[in-house]
Amino acid sequence: MASKKNKRNPHDKRRLTKRRLKEWLCGYMFILPWIVGVCIFFVYAMVQSLRFSFSNIIFSNGITFNTLTNPWDNYAAVFMKEINFPVTLANFGLGLTLQLPIIIAFSLIIALLLNSKIRARSLFRMIFFLPVIIATGPVMQQLTAQGVSSVPMVSQNTLLSILQGLPEFIYQPINDLFSSLILILWNSGIQILIFLAGLQKVPSTLYEAAKIDGASGWESFWKITLPIMKPMILLNSVYTVVTLATGGDNEIIQLIYDVSYAATKGYSYGAAMSWIYTAVVALILLLVFLLLREKSDKHVKYETKRPDLKERRQDA
């Protein structure tokens, strides 16, 4: 074995050099708090929730697990008995379909504006990120209660009269969208930040070259910016789906809460419903991934490829 090790190519990138080990350790040290947090607060809870969903539990003198005749009973019951679940799930899907493109498009536009050379750019960046901090607390509840979530120019009654002819399942998500439009846009701070980070990595030489070739700003956006930003769009879409799926005002989360405390349903039933919902969200994420994935990494490679020693020497 020792002789095999000695025969290894010293330029083999898989070889664990001291420097690589240091980088590796450094990287893991950065994400260690997250790993610890996930293991303690997330993995354990998930495993426990899975156990709950395959039994019938009672909280009395600790947790009492009662075995089910068929371990899938709770899952079957959710599909067979829960009349509100498919409807709420469909509403969520429809709402998501409407909200996701709006958030992504809005974030990208704002990021493009914030990336342009304007005065007080940092101030504007701060202003757009501020709601992310404000939105995490009672301030947001107060603002929502005072009606900041809807667009002031768009009267709910006017909207109602325009959409009145539509079936409720179409009308409701559109109405919800308009009534919480400001809130949706307000929650775009993180997405703007991610797009901004991506935009700053686009080499200016590409735009210069395009300009020399006679490309307009519009063409540059479609041919350079958007393709390079595609991985960021995927990342932001995933982030947005997860945020919308787990938000406090999500109707399915409320439904899961309600059934967990219902006498005839209970925690196990709620846990089963949670897992079905998790599967649906995972499916949506998969769909988003398949739609937006980067089939070729050519744009990213261009940026992340580290010039080798020979090239650097030549440059010098």
Partner 1 sequence: MKKLVALIMALCMMASLCSFASAEATYNMPELNTTDPITITFMTWDDFELTRALADKFTEKYPNITIEIIETTTADVTGTLTNLAADNNMPDVFFWLDLDPLLANHLMMDITTYIENDEEAQTKLYPSLRNVGYVDGKRCFFMPGENLPAIIYLDKAVFDKLNVELPAQDWTWEQMLELIETMTDPSQGIWAYNYFMGPVTLGPIALTDNVTGEFGWDGESYNFGSGWVDMMEKQSEYARLGYQAIAGSEEYLAVVPDDMWPGESGHVAIQMDAYWTMNNIYTQTAALERGLQMVPYNAPIGEGVENGGQFSWLDMVSISKDCQHPREAYEVAKFLTWGKEGWLARAELYPTITRDVTNAETGDVTQEKIYRLPGSLPMIEDEEVAAAMAAIMPDLGYWNDWENFFNAIQNPVTFGGRTIPGFNTFITDFYHGSDYAGYTGIEAAINAGAIDPFDYTDKLDEAGRKYYDDAMAVFFSVYGEAE
Q: What is the 3-state secondary structure (H, E, C) of 15-35?
A: CCCHHHHHHHHHHHHHHHHHH
Beta strands in 75-201 (DSSP E): none
Of these, 29, 263, 290, 309, which contacts partner 1 (CB under 8 A)? Answer: 263
Using the rule CB under 8 A, which residue among 256, 265, 275, 284 binds partner 1?
Answer: 265
3-state secondary structure of 315: helix
User: If binding is defined by CB under 8 A, does position 138 make contact with partner 1?
Assistant: no
Q: Which of 269, 235, 233, 212 is nearest to 112 (CA)?
A: 233
Nearer to partner 1, 41 or 261 (CB): 261
Site string for partner 1, 76-115 (x = CB under 8 A): -------xx--x----------------------------
Mark the segment that binds partner 1 (CB under 8 A) among 19-27, 59-67, 181-189, 190-198. 59-67
Backbone angles phi, psi at 151, to 5 degrees: -75, 120
Residue from 6, 69, 122, 157 binding partner 1 (CB under 8 A): 157
- Measuring CA to CA, how many Å separate 190 from each of 136, 153, 187, 242, 306? 13, 26, 8, 13, 28
**Could you say whether residue 141 binds partner 1 (CB under 8 A)?**
no
Tell me which residues in 29-58 interact with partner 1 (CB under 8 A): 58
Instruction: Supply the minimum distance, in Å, between the C-beta of residue 275 and partner 1.
Output: 19
In the chain, the DSSP E strands lie at 55-59, 63-67
- What radius of gyration, in Å, describes the C-alpha atoms of the chain? 25
Sole binder of partner 1 in the list 267, 272, 276, 281 (CB under 8 A): 267
Judged by the rule CB under 8 A, the positions of this chain that interact with partner 1 are 58-63, 83-84, 87, 147, 155-157, 167-168, 172, 255, 258, 260-267
